[in-house]
Amino acid sequence: MTGMKQADLARSAGISASYLNLIEHNRRRIGGKLLLDIAGILGVEPALLTEGAEATLIATLREAASDRPKAGAETDRADEFAGRFPGWARLLAEAHGRIAALERSVETLTDRMAHDPHLAASLHEMISTVTSIRSSASILAEPGDLDREWRERFHRNIREDSTRLAEASRGLVAYLEASGDAAAETGAPQEEVDAALDAVDHHLPQLEAGGAPEEVAAALGEGLSVTARALLEDWCRRYAADVAALPMARLVTEMEAQGPDPAALSEVLGADPALVMRRLAALPREVMADRLGLAICDASGVLIFRRPLPDFPMPRFGAACPLWPLYRALARPMVVVSAPLAQPGRAPTLWADAVAVPRDGPGRGRDPVWQAHMLIRPIPPEPPTADAPQEVGVDCRICPRQDCPARREPSILGGAGPSRF
C-alpha cells in the first residue's frame, strides 16, 4: 500500500510474515490493537484496511444471497466465505453482477418490444380494420330488408377492409418472423420496395432503354403487397423520368472526367444534384465498380428510400442519426453539403454528398414538398473539401458514441454517457 515490503510490515507490527499473509488474504480477521498498529505503520485510517474491496465483495455476496433466499446461503458467514475462498467469492460476486446486467438487458428489450412503434401501429391498424368489418358484417347479417345502396356499400367496405387486414397481417407476420430470407424480413411496404430494388442492384435496364414504368413495376413487384406495388410503380415512374432527363450515356461520359461527384456533375450537366444522385445510385456494376449508397428523406426526416451499403447501414424504420449530412442538407435547402463520414469503430472511408430540393416544380400558392438526398461513396482521391470527418451513427439505439450532442435516446449498448432525457 505504501511500497513497504510485507516482511518489514510484519516485523514492525510484531507478527510473522506468514500470519500477515493470512490476514492479507482474508483468512484471518484483523481487529483491535493489531489493526491500529498496522494502520499506524502504513499511515492510513484503520477503516481502510477493513473496508474497501473486501467490504464490497461481502456486500455483493449478501446481496446475491438475499436475491435468492430459497438457496439458503449462510449470509452471516459471508465474510468468512470471502476470507477463506476469495477466488470463489469473487467468481460468485461477478456472476451475480452479470446476472443482474443480463436481467436489466432483458427488461430493456422487453420494454422495447412492448413499445415498438411499428408493432403498435400494425396492431392498431388490424384491430381498427377488424372493428370495421365486424360492424359492417353485423349490419348485413341483421334480419329485415336493407336498402340496396347501403347493402352494396357495406359489402364494398368489407371487401376493402378484408384486403387491408390481409395486407396488415402479412406484414406483421413477416416482421415478427424475420427469417433470413430478405423478402420475408420485410414488414412495411417501403421495405418491400427496398428489397425488390436491392434484388436487381437498383439498376433497371428496361427503363434505361425507355420501357414503360408500369410494366417494369408489375414484373418487379410480383408477389409484393398492393401498397408496395403502388410505391414501386411510383419509383419506376420517377426512374423513367430521370432517364429521360439524364440518359446513362451522357452521365457516364461526364463521370469519366468528374468522377462520381454529384455536385461537379450537376454543374457540368446543368442538372439537379438530387437527380444526379439518383442516376449515380442506379448505375450498373460494369460502369460503377464501387457500390454507392443512397438515402432519401422527406421534410419530417423519415427515410422514404434506402440503398444501404455494407459499411453504411440504414435503419429499417424510424429516423436515422440526426448528424447525417442528409439532415444538415434539410437545414440548408438547395446547397450541396459534403463531408467525409466517421462511424464508430470504423476507419473513415466513406464520403457523403447531400442536398435538399423541392419534390416538384413551383406552383401558384403551393408550398414546395422538400426531399433531401444523400449519396454515399468512397472518399474521393482528391476530396472537394478539406472538412474534418463528420461523426455519424446509424440510430441512437445501437450507437455506442458517448456524449453525443444529438443523442435522443439511450443506447442499448450502454455507456451512452450522462442522461439527456
Partner 1 sequence: MNGHVLLIEDEPNIIEAISFILSREGWRVDTHSQGSDAVEHVRRTGPDVLILDAMLPGRSGFDILRDLRDDPEMSALPILMLTARGQSKDREQAERAGVSRFMTKPFSNAEVLDAVRALSEA
Q: Which of 317, 319, 298 is nearest to 171 (CA)?
A: 317
Among the listed ranges 116-124, 191-199, 266-274, 345-353, the one in contact with partner 1 (CB under 8 A) is 116-124
Instruction: Choose between 147 and 286: whose C-beta lies nearer to partner 1.
Output: 147
Count of other CB atoms within 10 angstroms of residue 174: 20
Among the listed ranges 57-65, 79-87, 117-125, 380-388, the one in contact with partner 1 (CB under 8 A) is 117-125
| Residues near partner 1 (CB under 8 A), total | 20
Quick one: cell of 62? 449478501
Q: Which of 190, 198, 192, 227 is nearest to 309 (CA)?
A: 198
Binding to partner 1, residues 126-155 (CB under 8 A): 127-132, 134-136, 138-139, 150, 153-154
As measured in angstroms, the least distance from the Cβ of 144 to partner 1 is 11
As measured in angstroms, the least distance from the Cβ of 368 to partner 1 is 22
Among the listed ranges 122-130, 169-177, 234-242, 280-288, the one in contact with partner 1 (CB under 8 A) is 122-130
Instruction: Choose between 120 and 268: whose C-beta lies nearer to partner 1.
Output: 120
As measured in angstroms, the least distance from the Cβ of 132 to partner 1 is 4
As measured in angstroms, the least distance from the Cβ of 128 to partner 1 is 5
As measured in angstroms, the least distance from the Cβ of 159 to partner 1 is 10
Instruction: Choose between 166 and 252: whose C-beta lies nearer to partner 1.
Output: 166
Rounded distance, CA 96 to CA 53, Å?
A: 16
Burial of 80 (0-12, 13-18, 19+ CB in 10 A): middle
Cell 429516423 appears where? 319
Site for partner 1 (CB under 8 A): which residue of 54, 63, 160, 267? 160
Count of other CB atoms within 10 angstroms of residue 200: 12
User: Considering the rule CB under 8 A, would residue 161 count as an interface residue with partner 1?
Assistant: yes
Quick one: cell of 71? 438457496
Instruction: Choose between 42 and 126: whose C-beta lies nearer to partner 1.
Output: 126
Quick one: cell of 287? 460502369
Secondary structure percentages of the chain, helix, strand, coil, to 5? 55, 10, 35
Residue 188 sits at φ, ψ, to 5 deg, of -110, 155
Binding to partner 1, residues 343-372 (CB under 8 A): none
The helix (run of H) or strand (run of E) holding residue 34 is helix 32-42
CB of 229 closer than 8 Å to CB of 217? yes
What letter would DSSP give residue 179? -
- Residues of the shown chain interacting with partner 1 in the complex, contacts defined by CB under 8 A: 120, 123-124, 127-132, 134-136, 138-139, 150, 153-154, 157, 160-161
